Amino acid sequence: MDHPLQVTFLGFTHTPDLDGLIRKSALALEAEAGNHMTSCHVFVECAHQHHDETRVFHARINLELPGGVLAVNHEHHAQRTHEDAFIAVRDAFDAASRQIIDWRRRRNA
């Protein structure tokens, strides 16, 4: 990457394990992009549900690649699977991986 990985945590105190998962996943994305990724910014936010104060996590990833930016905004308001920050991050990186596969397919076409 031309620019260092940026990670922003909003609304909660993160753990070194969560930070490590993000860094490891970003390296895997960079490899999947054929080392063409020039920047990556990951946002993990904790929001509270108003009716019961349940913590819900949202993860967003912005990737800069030759030809544009991929933005992954992976939220599940209806599903309660993101009451865990690790799951929100994992799902966002899975979605980013699928977008990189599509980007590589378009690029090679």
Q: Which domain holds residue 74?
A: 6-84
Domain assignment of residue 47, yes or no:
yes
Domain assignment of residue 89, yes or no:
no
User: How large is the average pLDDT for residues 15-20?
Assistant: 96
Is 4:27 a contact under the CB 8 Å cutoff?
no
pTM of the model: 0.87
- pLDDT reading at 78 higher than 60: no
Domain assignment of residue 33, yes or no:
yes
- pLDDT reading at 107 higher than 80: yes
pLDDT digits (tens, 9 = 90+) for 38-50: 999 999 999 866 6
Q: Which residue has the tokens 């994992």?
A: 90
49 or 8, which is more confident:
8
**pLDDT score of 51:** 64
Domain assignment of residue 105, yes or no:
no
Structural domain count, the chain: 1
Q: Which residue has the tokens 């544009």?
A: 68
Helix 16-32 vs helix 85-108: crossing angle, to nearest 10: 10
Domain assignment of residue 95, yes or no:
no
Q: CATH number for the domain including 54?
A: 3.30.160.100
pLDDT band at 81 (very low <50, low <70, confident <90, very high): low
